[in-house]
Amino acid sequence: MNIFDVELITARIKLRRISHEDLADMYEFTSIKSVTEFLEWDAHKSIVPTKEFISKTLNEYITKETTFTWGIEYLEHSKLVGTIRIYDYVPKYGRAEVSYIINPAYQGKGIMTEVLRQIYYHCFNNLRMLRLQAKCSAKNLGSIKLLQKSGMVEEGCLRNYYSAHGIIHDSYVFAITSDNYFSLNGINK
């Protein structure tokens, strides 16, 4: 069983498995060019790649134990507004990486900060993990601000790390450790 396969709920959002019923909501944001500006994949020009992504994710729910993708459901609208993925989980060291995407119509509302904090809570309190990290383009100011606001600390820059749409990007590495998390939240271990 995948240890990440749980629903996580806050006042505004539910992190849950995605399903084929999410196809229209997901295509709404995966088809927007600005959403994929700093990503290695292109905006979806038809619903087919979105459907393929959902099918691949459903298969991963069964076959992978070190990867999990939650759909981000905005409860007020009963709508899938993004995804957050945990991957490269190494149980021996209690570490993993996260990545995320959100519909631009729901950006700037604190939703992703809330999502990341819920992921931190689950990983550090329930799973006793030691470290979560994320990477983002040095040009992606929105992600940089989000990761800092959520409690992650910049650890360094990976120069000429990846290419997105023919542009070479430096990538910042951000992380939060269990010690950081508990300290930020006034919790004595």
Q: Tell me the per-residue pLDDT of 74-133, one tens digit each, with 9 for 90 and over.
A: 999 999 999 999 999 999 999 999 999 999 999 999 999 999 999 999 999 999 999 999
Per-residue pLDDT, 7: 96
Per-residue pLDDT, 122: 96
Record the tokens describing residue 66, joined without a space: 């070190």
SS3 178: helix
Number of residues assigned to the chain? 189
pLDDT-derived band at 51, boundaries 50, 70, 90: very high
**Residue-averaged pLDDT of the chain:** 95
Residues 130-147, mean pLDDT to the nearest whole number: 97
pLDDT-derived band at 188, boundaries 50, 70, 90: confident
Phi and psi at 124, nearest 5°, equal -90, -35
Per-residue pLDDT, 129: 96
Q: What is the separation, in whole angstroms, between the first and last Cα of the chain?
A: 27
pLDDT-derived band at 153, boundaries 50, 70, 90: very high
How far, in Å, CA of 189 to CA of 183, rounded? Answer: 9
Record the tokens describing residue 80, joined without a space: 């899938």
Cβ neighbour number for residue 1 with a 10 Å cutoff? 5
| Helix locations, the chain, DSSP H | 23-30, 47-63, 111-121, 141-150, 178-184
89-to-5, 78, 94, 120, 131 alpha-carbon distances in Å: 13, 30, 7, 14, 10
Per-residue pLDDT, 189: 65
Per-residue pLDDT, 2: 84
Per-residue pLDDT, 92: 95
Per-residue pLDDT, 185: 87
- Asked whether the beta carbons of 44 and 95 are under 8 A apart, the reply is no
Per-residue pLDDT, 170: 97
State the DSSP H helix or E strand holding residue 49, giving kind and residue range, or none if neither: helix 47-63
Residues 63-69, mean pLDDT to the nearest whole number: 92
